[in-house]
Amino acid sequence: MKLAINVILLLSLLFSANYVFAADDARHFPGIFIGYTDAADETHFTYGIEYEYKFNDSWGLGAAYEKIDDAHHDDGVTVTVAQLFYHPVKSLRFGLGVGKEKIGGAHPHTEDLYRVSASYEYHIGDFGLAPTLAVDFIDGEKAYVFGVAFVRPF
């Protein structure tokens, strides 16, 4: 129930705001991410928020916060990542990032995380739909993150 309320609240804030949008002039790219994380032969539902500020047509800086409730034997995991993005063409985005993976449960701890990502944004009116693939490197292990971000540029 709590997850549903948070998702509804984030969607309404993101999509009901009265932004002035011009596709070529947008610098702010907030989004909601929904997908799956595959790590250690387990696949878990992943959700979160992301943001990118584009300095120019080619470069941007952003951050992501993701939550994986069932990971690590239901202890739960949160991921925070700061990323540098490169846009070789308008809708294609490659990212390199650094962050933290925080594992909950009876023995909580935090691990360093490095991320490589790629996404392609489809423009639908004033919104964007961005299928995303990321690989997280955490303590000698890899986690693959697949999903889609719903973006509202302004």
Each residue's pLDDT tens digit, 9-47: 455 545 444 444 445 689 999 999 999 999 988 999 999
* Residue 20, number of CB atoms within 10 A of its CB: 8
**What's the whole-model pTM score?**
0.83
**Span 46-104, pLDDT tens digits:** 999 999 999 999 999 999 999 999 998 889 999 999 999 999 998 999 999 999 999 99
CA distance 72 to 15: 33
Q: Which amino acid is at 37?
A: T
Question: Do residues 45 and 33 make contact, with C-beta atoms less than 8 angstroms apart?
Answer: no
CATH of the domain at 125: 2.40.160.20
Given the structure tokens 């739909």, which residue do they identify?
A: 129
User: How many structural domains compose the chain?
Assistant: 1
> Residue length, the chain?
154
Residue 52 sits in which domain range?
Answer: 2-151
54 three-class SS: strand
